[in-house]
Amino acid sequence: MKQRRIMMNSTQVSYFTLAAYFDTGLLKYLFFIIAMFLYAMILCANVLLIVIICMNRSLHEPMYLFLCSLFVNELYGSTGLFPSLMVQILSDIHTVPASFCYFQIFCVHSYGTVELFLLTAMAYDRYAAICYPLQYNTSWVYGFSTCFIMVCLSSSLQLCGNMINKVYCDNYSVVKLSCSDTQILNILGLISCFLHILCPLILILFSYMKILKVCFSGSKQTRQKAVSTCTPHLVSLMNFSFGGFFEIYQSRFDMSSVPSMLRIFLSLYFLTCQPLLNPVLYGFNMSKIRNIYKSLFTYIFVIFF
């Protein structure tokens, strides 16, 4: 009878409740404005840089094509979060359809996978000759295909609950709701963590060991060039790693002792700060893009004023 009741309940999960939201009263309008402002900043900064790179032939080089791919991924990841987040902030009932929940899981996880693989490719590109373009498109294909398989497996699970203690849908949170055997899925998850996290980090470490070796054996000018080119990448990598680490830790361990507002902020960190930081680090910080950016705004100012 108990097994029958569990099976019956598992067929009734047509929506999920995002339990991390709580009543903030009139403050919800302030939170909505903050979220809308952040999303608008991400859209404007990344779209502007994509347009600048695509419209100027002088920027059609391996490094700038990589940056364009990175900015597209920032738009993709933030769009998978912010529209839904803004709707939920204003809503009194924080539920989402199951189909949308799985779609959001795919967006968030594929964004994170592609981001880490792009940063890995960039680390190797610092070591390899930059005149040979790397296959950045491979990062997209691999990230999308593996996350698609993961979501297909998760969506086929029999669920005995629909309460997700987060402000957006997360794959591990859905797996924890399963009342069926998840042993195979857990094994695949461990393999996925090895391929998606450990392997890229090993390659990044290898690349920077080679860079350090060249720096120590090279001239002062070589060391200065290495520092100037590698610093933005290292800052971006550490920023993304911090957000990703906390997201993984929060999903798998008890964080009830941490204030709920802090948990929410840190869970949104890698989907918010990374898309805002990368345009500054890689876009406006590069002289070619900065000069085109200044010329564009000077032209617009002359036309309208």
- How much is the pLDDT for 76? 94
Which DSSP category does 259 fall into?
-
The domain limits of the chain are 2-304
- Convert the pLDDT of each residue in 239-249 to its tens digit: 888 888 888 88
**Interval 19-30 mean pLDDT:** 87
pLDDT at 97 (0 to 100) = 92
The CATH code of domain 2-304 reads 1.20.1070.10
Mean pLDDT for 32-40 is: 94
- Tell me: pLDDT of 8 over 60: no
Question: What confidence tier does 289 reach under pLDDT thresholds 50, 70, 90?
Answer: confident
Q: Give percent above pLDDT 90 in the chain.
A: 18
Q: Which two tokens stand for residue 259?
A: 């204030």
Comparing 215 with 34, which gets the higher pLDDT?
34
97 vs 125, which has greater pLDDT? 97
> Model pTM?
0.80
Could you please report the per-residue DSSP string of 34-89? Answer: HHHHHHHHHHHHHHHHHHHHHH-GGG-SHHHHHHHHHHHHHHHHHHTTHHHHHHHH
Please determine, for residue 3, whether its predicted confidence score (pLDDT) is greater than 60.
no
